[in-house]
A and B are shown apart, each in its own frame.
Chain A
């Protein structure tokens, strides 16, 4: 899933390690989420949302165009 994580932490001048520290995950996890290789769980997505004070859908993009059924 595409996301704005890299941009958001760049604004705060955070490294992946910094973000990992805030989220209590490893740098590999941050890296995997940023590169779209791993989609975070709902609890972690909410944690990210609270950390950046943004709604989940502004951070993560499921590429829904409105043409699909759901």
Chain B
């Protein structure tokens, strides 16, 4: 029928690969940073040929993944000659959210609100009161307001159904994982239940199901 139509379904796979490549870049950046940190901790002498080779390999891999994302994005753009109005709003919203998140992260890093020694936001380490307040307002007020608007005006019924199924399966995942973890902790086989870990597990399950139902 239309080439663009045939590509619509496969765009889901392209997006999945782009996300995986993105995770790969984050992981490789962590490896490179860790490698340099260890080197600095050991005295910070000049890098030898082997060190350069290792760094070059990791940087090359990172660039290759970035290139793959760019190629996949180009392919998606080629397959998306025409986009319905609702989808345009959807895409603008997504780009806006990514930009807002990125800019917020950079501002927090530049203003010193987020200390790199706190390891990451995803930990139980102490954080500065200012950062705690900013994050609480973001997650407790701004994100719910955006989410309300998102569900009310942006997503269509097929995606809404994907969200519902994702939420249902995530709820069951929580219901089953939490007691199993608790029993295994009582049996001395696991550390105490970590609420934030459970939170991320449920979000991850919901996201996987949502992606599967929306795109695949």
A21, B214: Cβ atoms closer than 8 Å: no
Among A16, A20, A26, A31, chain B packs the most CB atoms within 10 A around the CB of A26
Smallest CB separation, A10 vs chain B (Å) = 6
Contact of B82 among A6, A9, A17, A24 (CB under 8 A): A17
B158 contacts across to A, CB distance below 8 A: 25-26, 28-29, 32-33, 38, 40
Smallest CB separation, B88 vs chain A (Å) = 10
How many residues from B make CB contacts under 8 Å with A?
Answer: 23
Contact of B8 among A9, A27, A44 (CB under 8 A): A27
Chain B binding site: helix, strand, loop or mixed by DSSP? helix
Interface presence of B51 (CB below 8 A): no
B84 contacts across to A, CB distance below 8 A: 17, 20-21, 24-27
A40 contacts across to B, CB distance below 8 A: 157-158
What 0/1 pattern do residues 188 to 216 of B give for CB contact below 8 A with A?
Answer: 00000000000000000000000001110
What 0/1 pattern do residues 106 to 118 of B give for CB contact below 8 A with A?
Answer: 0000000000000
A35 contacts across to B, CB distance below 8 A: 9
B156 contacts across to A, CB distance below 8 A: 24-26, 29
Q: How large, as a class, is the contact surface on chain A?
A: 20 to 34
Segment 8-61 of A: residues with Cβ below 8 Å from B? 9-10, 15-18, 20-21, 24-33, 35, 38, 40-41, 44
28 A/B residue pairs, CB under 8 Å, sorted by A? A9-B1, A15-B5, A16-B2, A16-B4, A17-B81, A17-B82, A17-B83, A17-B84, A20-B84, A21-B85, A24-B86, A25-B157, A25-B158, A26-B87, A26-B159, A27-B8, A27-B83, A27-B84, A28-B8, A28-B214, A28-B215, A29-B158, A29-B159, A31-B5, A31-B8, A32-B158, A38-B161, A40-B158
By a beta-carbon cutoff of 8 Å, the part of chain B in contact with chain A is 1-2, 4-5, 8-9, 12, 81-87, 90, 156-159, 161, 213-215
By a beta-carbon cutoff of 8 Å, the part of chain A in contact with chain B is 6, 9-10, 15-18, 20-21, 24-33, 35, 38, 40-41, 44
